[in-house]
Amino acid sequence: MTDVYKHWRIERDNDSICWLYIDKADGGANVLSGAVLDELNAILDAIVASNPRGVVFLSGKANGFIAGADINEFVPLKEPADALALIQRGQRACDKIAALKCPTLALIHGFCLGGGMELALACRYRIADDDARTRLGLPEIKLGIHPGFGGTVRLPPLVGAPAAMDLMLTGRTVDARTAKKIGLIDYAVPTRHWKRAAREVVMNPPVPHRPKGWLKLTNNSLVRPLLARTMRAKVTEKAPIEHYPAPHALINLWQKYADDPVRMMQEEAASVSRFVLGDTARNLVRVFFLQERLKSLGKKDMIAPRHVHVIGGGVMGGDIAIWCALQGMRVTVQDRKHETLAKVIKRAHALYKKRLKQPRLIQAALDRLMPDDKGVGVSRADVVIEAIFEDILAKQNLYRDIESKLKPGALLATNTSSIPLELLAEALTKPERLVGLHFFNPVAQMQLVEIVSSKLTDPEVARQAAAFARHIDRLPLPVKSSPGFLVNRVLMPYLLEAVTLEWEGVPASVIDKAATDFGMPMGPIRLADTVGLDICLSVAEILAQRLDVDVPPRLRELVGAGRLGVKSGQGFYTYHGDKPQMPRVKPGYVPPPDIAERLILRFLNEAAACLREGVVADADLLDAGVIFGTGFAPFRGGPIHYIQESGVEAQRRKLGELEEHYGKRFVADAEWAEL
């Protein structure tokens, strides 16, 4: 029977237990493609006939269990009936597993996500490797859909509604310990024991897990409307229904049908097959592939960095060092000031506590991060990242000082946001070795790193820098060393337009709302306050020298008055901690009708200019960089994609109208003719 299948391997042992290994033939990770599911359906039919003692599902691959459904198969779907058939095929396989009379068990290591998690949920038991690499979850919501292989039906009764709905609505993943705590798995055991544990469960099946105490009541028909209301309110804050309909539909599905699993299964399939074809899911799937593309730009095996040396332990350098140590690097961090280095260690402790939780792991990460006021690490490091003041001479002097001390093949990178690399490289005898690794603030949250090349940068060095970004789990975006690179450049006109609007008398909160209604994660005024108005001003001034932008006097005025944003407690808004106090908008105030257009079209126009100038290699990379670097409404698929989807001509006409009203800052870039 084994040889017949391409993607599955079956072993039947002396106890008559079927060990069913998934090992997808033509891909790096196990995904539930149509072919994999067709084979599974056939295998399950054969298994029923052979009457085994138990069935254990496990993976034949080292990297994990099952990563989910095959997203590639979503892309060509056009007809609702085809989408429905695809979903129902997965449901059928899971239903067959659930219907097996013998004990069934999923033995999980590495990732167990989406459809893979749903397959595991169809089993009677789940055991996971308690290794740090184990991640379980249902991240479908991040693709604009919700679970569709029975997950919405099986998870709430297993773990109770609060945990189930939280997992499905946020798409977050959990480790084996948390999974055990909430009841998503039955046991978390080390790999060396797990086959024995699986055999034990099959031979002496315990009572399957069910939620205890008050959790039992959370799926009750009287309780559901109340819980659903709270969930809806929470979801609406982050994912308004107009932009992200799937989480709202998921809540409705559960509220309406949780008492009727058969009907709920049908409704689940119908709902997912509708969303799969919708704009939000199409664009979020696009974002998923863009992310894969960015990942593929850094080939990890090109370099084997172990030691990173960061010079400058301020806002950025400190956080870069902290991040690199979290990712397993040995890190030395150098600063002229002792107290700055002490602050770095304090910040590291806070982040590691939050992310790593276990004292043993926290201590190990702290041990990897070493304050180094003498700069001893320079000559030992595989990667040296400079993040000192934004000052040409200071940076050049530093390079002169350290160049001869560097290890021969070591990577030398600068985190500069605005100084052309050509200028900085003048201080080096080998200018070709300088590359930009432009991180964003806050480093631990911003996934993107711009890999900046000047005309002098050796392309091989840039590729190594991209590989390094992957080693520390960041997304590399190769960009040209031109003013503002990509992300700051497209953001700046949009931020400055917001400042202008505010100066014209539009309340800041009204401006921000126009942007968040469009789908931005944060309004531009609040973003400027968060980045720091002094930093905005300095980037704006640098861009103004080299590009055709005017810096609104209002920005200088605020910085001059010491109102720097969140960090000084006052900027456009007044802050308590990092929460702004929103002044009330006067009753009866009627905002101008073109706020969103003014903001977004300046953004889009600058994106078009970057494409024309070749700041990045192509339109997809531009969209990817802008989404991951600025949070540009992901469900719109990126600025260039949005221009094309919403109509190049229509958008260009609007730009023309704005130009008539407001002048040359709205002149359409020449690239519009090419779009």
Residue 25: helix, strand or coil by DSSP? coil
Placement of tokens 């509708």 in the chain: 274
Binder to ligand NAI among 214, 389, 503, 589 (CB under 6 A)? 389
Smaller CB separation from ligand NAI, 41 or 447: 447
Stretch that binds ligand NAI, among 197-205, 412-420, 603-611, 663-671 (CB under 6 A): 412-420
Stretch that binds ligand NAI, among 176-184, 410-418, 460-468, 648-656 (CB under 6 A): 410-418
CA dist 487 and 436 (Å) reads: 14
Per rule CB under 6 A, is residue 565 in the interface with ligand NAI?
no
Binder to ligand NAI among 238, 306, 336, 455 (CB under 6 A)? 336
Binder to ligand NAI among 33, 170, 332, 340 (CB under 6 A)? 340
Stretch that binds ligand NAI, among 143-151, 308-316, 591-599, 620-628 (CB under 6 A): 308-316
Smaller CB separation from ligand NAI, 142 or 474: 474
CA dist 296 and 675 (Å) reads: 26
Minimum CB separation of residue 531 from ligand NAI in Å reads: 6
How many residues touch ligand NAI under the rule CB under 6 A: the total is: 24
- Please report, as residue ranges, which positions from 508 to 537 form the binding site for ligand NAI (by CB under 6 A): 535
Direct distance between the N- and C-terminal alpha carbons of the chain, in angstroms, rounded to an integer: 55
CA dist 511 and 501 (Å) reads: 7
Smaller CB separation from ligand NAI, 255 or 414: 414
Smaller CB separation from ligand NAI, 21 or 440: 440
Minimum CB separation of residue 340 from ligand NAI in Å reads: 4
Per rule CB under 6 A, is residue 312 in the interface with ligand NAI?
yes
Question: Considering only CA atoms, which of 17, 15, 30, 16 is closest in space to residue 108?
Answer: 30
Smaller CB separation from ligand NAI, 117 or 378: 378
Binder to ligand NAI among 117, 284, 388, 633 (CB under 6 A)? 388
Per rule CB under 6 A, is residue 317 in the interface with ligand NAI?
yes
∠ Cα 620 63 6 (to 5°): 90
Within 8 A by CB and 6+ apart from 254, the residues are 152, 156, 161, 165, 224, 228
Binder to ligand NAI among 64, 148, 313, 519 (CB under 6 A)? 313
Placement of tokens 């450049």 in the chain: 489
Specify whether 118 is catalytic.
yes
Catalytic-labelled residue, pool 140, 386, 606, 671? 140
8 Å CB contact between 525 and 498: yes
Per rule CB under 6 A, is residue 503 in the interface with ligand NAI?
no
User: Residue 307, Cα to own-chain centre: how many angstroms?
Assistant: 26
Binder to ligand NAI among 35, 98, 302, 315 (CB under 6 A)? 315
Per rule CB under 6 A, is residue 416 in the interface with ligand NAI?
yes
Stretch that binds ligand NAI, among 310-318, 514-522, 594-602, 653-661 (CB under 6 A): 310-318
> x/- string (CB under 6 A) for ligand NAI, residues 441-470?
x-----------------------------
Minimum CB separation of residue 416 from ligand NAI in Å reads: 4
Query: How many CB atoms within 10 Å of residue 148?
Result: 28
% helix, strand, coil for the chain, step of 5: 55, 15, 30
Per rule CB under 6 A, is residue 394 in the interface with ligand NAI?
yes
Closest chain position to ligand NAI (CB): 314
Smaller CB separation from ligand NAI, 387 or 564: 387
8 Å CB contact between 225 and 251: no
Specify whether 140 is catalytic.
yes
Within 8 A by CB and 6+ apart from 302, the residues are 463, 464, 467
8 Å CB contact between 543 and 568: no
8 Å CB contact between 429 and 438: no
Backbone phi and psi for residue 668, each to the nearest 5 degrees, phi listed first: -65, 135
Within 8 A by CB and 6+ apart from 348, the residues are 321, 322, 325, 365, 366, 369
Placement of tokens 């200088």 in the chain: 556
Catalytic-labelled residue, pool 118, 268, 386, 671? 118
In the complex, the residues that contact ligand NAI under the rule CB under 6 A are 311-317, 334-337, 340, 387-390, 394, 398, 415-417, 439, 441, 535
Catalytic residue numbers read 118, 140
